[in-house]
Amino acid sequence: MSDDLPLTIDDLRFDERGLITAVIQDAATLQVLMVAWMSAASLRLTLATGETHFWSRSRGELWHKGATSGNVQRVRDIRVDCDGDTLLILVDPAGPACHTGNQTCFYRELASDDYTTKDIP
C-alpha cells in the first residue's frame, strides 16, 4: 500500500472470517461511540448509502445501524489504519449509539482493583 494514494476495499486486510474492525467516532465530539465488525458487503453498503452498516457476528447477518431505533449514523469520513486492518469511521449520530440508550457503548469503567497501571517506557 502506498501512503500517497487513496485506498480501496481491495487494499483492506479482512480477517479469516472476511471481517474488519470498525471503530465508530462522533465527528463533532471525537467521542468513541462503538466498535463493530464490517464485511466487504457492509462496507460497500455504507459507502453507497452514507450510513453505517455492519456484520452481526451473533446473528450472522448484515445490519443497518438505526434501522429499528432511528439512531442512524451518517458517515462523514472513513480512515484506514497503517496496517489496513482497522477502520475509523467518523459519523454524525442521530441518537445514542448503544442499544442500552447510552450515547456511547463505552459508558462503564473497569474497577481499579481489576487492573494496575504501569509506566510504559
Q: What is the mean pLDDT of residues 92-108?
A: 92
Q: Which amino acid would we find at residue 38?
A: M
Among 49, 41, 51, 47, CA closest to 20: 41
What are the structural domains, with CATH classification, of the chain? 10-91 (3.10.20.810)
Determine the residue type at 88: L
As a whole number, mean pLDDT of residues 78-105 equals 94
| Predicted pLDDT of residue 81 | 95
pLDDT band at residue 1, thresholds of 50, 70 and 90?
very low
C-alpha 106/C-alpha 49 separation (Å) is 26
Binned at pLDDT 50, 70 and 90, residue 2 comes out as low
What pLDDT, on a 0 to 100 scale, did the predictor assign at position 120? 53
pLDDT tens across 22-68, in order? 999 999 999 999 999 999 999 999 999 999 999 999 999 999 999 99
82 pLDDT above the threshold of 70? yes
